[in-house]
């Protein structure tokens, strides 16, 4: 929330160049906004608020729908949020004159508040009892009334304000992070970026889709390209390149990552989509790989039913097949562990040694220690990576210290 507010502010300060001004108001309460609230049942519209100064539903906006969505659960949710002290999001007013405002964004929420305060619907209290506003305790009523809203007042030419509103609110679908950043840092750089990365006609999109998840039109590819080149500092990167006319650095880096992945891994598997290729490129692109060997390894691991996490296969191979944690290898089940524990413990008692075979051959204080089941972990006697199966014949129980010392091999 705080982040978004800050970004919106950044964006807004920039819009001043276009004669549009925006002021953040945080002192307007629900009571203020709902003063003189009028709801028109016939037209299903919240009409006015703010003591007559606010037009809640300008002509170009849709009718009040919260009351009809999920049996009104949405308008109840607005009240529940307020009662719990959760934010209900940014509200935008268009300032027409000193005493005239229109709701640009937030009419559904404001209408919910107004309808509740005028007893048009009830919410359930802690005991599940229906409660109308006027039947609430004064304390609860005040909690609602005195809650301040976060409101941006936008002032400018009508067309300008509406145009701007259209960009922040495409057909009611909220902007995602990257779309918002594109709006904030609009300029030649973003324009060039979009030509390259947000263009579904670009023949490369199909290739990129093998590695990147998301919709090209909603900036998923641009976001990745920026994330990779900036090592995660998209904001800074866009800010410092905002007025650049060329995007060569971005393009080159992006292509290097994609070319690298596709040359190391000749197979294209579903699980490759959405991996952190930027990070993997940084970590491993200096190493050399034999694509044929890599391919065989990929196929072998894909065929292995013990591997729970196929998307870990690629990093596992890049890292020299050392870190099996990436694969989330199927573990020994409880019955196997208990049966091995029982066997080892009985044996250990007869031999007067520890039931952890590693402790038993050591010289430490634990040489004769009988560990509890809960203090031990299952281990592959013959290492998983060397083909050892996850079956009872290859299971031994070790104390936690020894199992972890042995590593996850």
39 Cβ contact partners less than 8 Å away, ≥ 6 residues apart: 45, 46, 47, 111, 114, 115, 118, 120
How far apart are CB 365 and Zn ion at their closest, in Å? 11
For residue 124, the 8-state DSSP code is E
378 near Zn ion, judged by CB under 5 A:
no
3 state DSSP class of 145: helix
110 near Zn ion, judged by CB under 5 A:
no
Q: Which stretch binds Zn ion (CB under 5 A): 12-20, 155-163, 282-290, 349-357?
A: 349-357
How far apart are CB 397 and Zn ion at their closest, in Å? 10
How far apart are CB 333 and Zn ion at their closest, in Å? 22
- In whole angstroms, give the CA distance from residue 235 to residue 403: 44
How far apart are CB 176 and Zn ion at their closest, in Å? 51
**Choice between 257 and 359, CB closer to Zn ion:** 359
Other beta carbons within 10 angstroms of residue 241's beta carbon come to 23
**Choice between 226 and 359, CB closer to Zn ion:** 359
- Measured in degrees and rounded to the nearest 5, phi and psi for residue 124 equal -85, 140
- In whole angstroms, give the CA distance from residue 409 to residue 393: 17
Give the binding-site size for Zn ion (rule: CB under 5 A). Answer: 5
Going by DSSP bridges, is the β-strand pair 100-105/54-55 parallel, antiparallel, or unpaired? Answer: parallel
402 near Zn ion, judged by CB under 5 A:
yes
Enclosing H/E stretch for 10: helix 2-15
How far apart are CB 364 and Zn ion at their closest, in Å? 9
For the chain, how are helix, strand and coil distributed in percent, rounded to 5? 50, 15, 35
Could you tell me where the DSSP H helices lie in 125-172? 138-145, 158-168
**Choice between 91 and 356, CB closer to Zn ion:** 356
Q: Which stretch binds Zn ion (CB under 5 A): 155-163, 294-302, 343-351, 398-406?
A: 398-406
What's the Cα-to-Cα distance from 3 to each of 119, 313, 353, rounded to whole Å? 35, 35, 60
- Choice from 34, 359, 376, 395 touching Zn ion (CB under 5 A): 359
**Choice between 104 and 359, CB closer to Zn ion:** 359
Enclosing H/E stretch for 329: none
Q: Which stretch binds Zn ion (CB under 5 A): 6-14, 155-163, 357-365, 378-386?
A: 357-365
Q: Which stretch binds Zn ion (CB under 5 A): 93-101, 149-157, 210-218, 348-356?
A: 348-356
How far apart are CB 354 and Zn ion at their closest, in Å? 6
30 near Zn ion, judged by CB under 5 A:
no
How far apart are CB 395 and Zn ion at their closest, in Å? 16
Q: Which stretch binds Zn ion (CB under 5 A): 27-35, 99-107, 271-279, 354-362?
A: 354-362
Other beta carbons within 10 angstroms of residue 63's beta carbon come to 15
399 near Zn ion, judged by CB under 5 A:
yes
**Choice between 95 and 402, CB closer to Zn ion:** 402
Q: Which stretch binds Zn ion (CB under 5 A): 130-138, 203-211, 303-311, 392-400?
A: 392-400
Q: Which stretch binds Zn ion (CB under 5 A): 14-22, 236-244, 374-382, 393-401?
A: 393-401
**Choice between 198 and 355, CB closer to Zn ion:** 355
- Choice from 194, 310, 358, 368 touching Zn ion (CB under 5 A): 358
How far apart are CB 402 and Zn ion at their closest, in Å? 4
Q: Is 385 exposed, middle or buried (0-12, 13-18, 19+ CB in 10 A)?
A: middle
188-197 helix and 177-184 helix, angle to the nearest 10 degrees? 140
- Choice from 272, 327, 356, 397 touching Zn ion (CB under 5 A): 356
The position carrying tokens 């009662």 is: 83
Enclosing H/E stretch for 22: strand 21-25
- Radius of gyration of the chain, Cα coordinates, nearest whole angstrom: 31
165 Cβ contact partners less than 8 Å away, ≥ 6 residues apart: 92, 94, 104, 105, 154
Q: Which stretch binds Zn ion (CB under 5 A): 11-19, 134-142, 285-293, 394-402?
A: 394-402
The pair of three-digit structure tokens given for residue 181, joined into one six-digit string: 């950043």
The pair of three-digit structure tokens given for residue 57, joined into one six-digit string: 């539903």
Residue window 261-280: x/- pattern of binding to Zn ion, with contact defined by CB under 5 A: --------------------
Residues that bind Zn ion (CB under 5 A): 356, 358-359, 399, 402
């Amino acid at each position: 929330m705080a982040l978004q507010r800050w970004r919106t502010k950044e964006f807004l300060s920039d819009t001043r160049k276009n004669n549009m001004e925006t002021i953040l108001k945080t002192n307007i309460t629900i009571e203020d906004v709902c003063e003189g609230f009028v709801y028109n049942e016939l037209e299903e519209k919240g009409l006015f608020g703010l003591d007559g100064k606010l037009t809640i539903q300008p002509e170009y906006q849709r009718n009040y729908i919260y009351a009809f969505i999920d049996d009104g659960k949405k308008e109840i949710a607005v009240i529940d949020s307020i009662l719990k002290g959760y934010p209900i999001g940014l509200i935008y007013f268009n300032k027409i004159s000193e005493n005239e405002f229109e709701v640009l964004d937030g009419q559904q929420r404001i209408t919910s508040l107004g309808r509740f305060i005028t007893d048009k619907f009830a919410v359930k209290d802690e005991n599940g009892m229906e409660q109308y506003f006027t039947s609430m305790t004064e304390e609860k009523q005040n909690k609602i009334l005195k809650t301040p809203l976060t409101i941006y007042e936008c002032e400018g030419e009508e067309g300008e304000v509406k145009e701007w509103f259209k960009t922040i609110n495409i057909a009611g679908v909220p902007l995602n992070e990257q779309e918002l950043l594109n709006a904030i840092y609009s300029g030649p750089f973003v324009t060039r970026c979009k030509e390259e990365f947000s263009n579904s006609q670009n023949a490369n999109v199909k290739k990129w889709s093998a590695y990147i998840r998301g919709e090209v039109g909603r900036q998923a590819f641009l976001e990745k390209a920026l994330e990779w080149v900036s090592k995660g500092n998209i904001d800074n990167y866009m800010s410092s390149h905002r007025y650049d006319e060329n995007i060569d650095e971005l393009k080159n880096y992006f292509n290097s990552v994609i070319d690298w992945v596709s040359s190391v891994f000749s197979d294209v598997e579903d699980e490759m989509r959405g991996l952190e290729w930027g990070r993997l490129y940084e970590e491993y692109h200096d190493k050399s790989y034999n694509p044929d060997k890599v391919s065989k390894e990929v196929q072998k691991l894909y065929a292995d039913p013990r591997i729970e996490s196929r998307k870990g296969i690629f990093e596992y191979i890049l890292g020299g097949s050392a870190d099996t944690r990436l694969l989330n290898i199927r573990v020994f089940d409880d019955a196997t562990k208990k049966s091995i524990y029982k066997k080892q413990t009985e044996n250990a008692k007869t031999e007067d040694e520890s039931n952890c075979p590693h402790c038993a051959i050591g010289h430490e204080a634990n040489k004769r220690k009988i560990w509890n089941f809960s203090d031990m972990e299952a281990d592959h006697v013959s290492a998983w990576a060397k083909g050892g199966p996850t079956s009872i014949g290859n299971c031994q129980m070790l104390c936690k210290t020894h199992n972890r010392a042995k590593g996850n091999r």
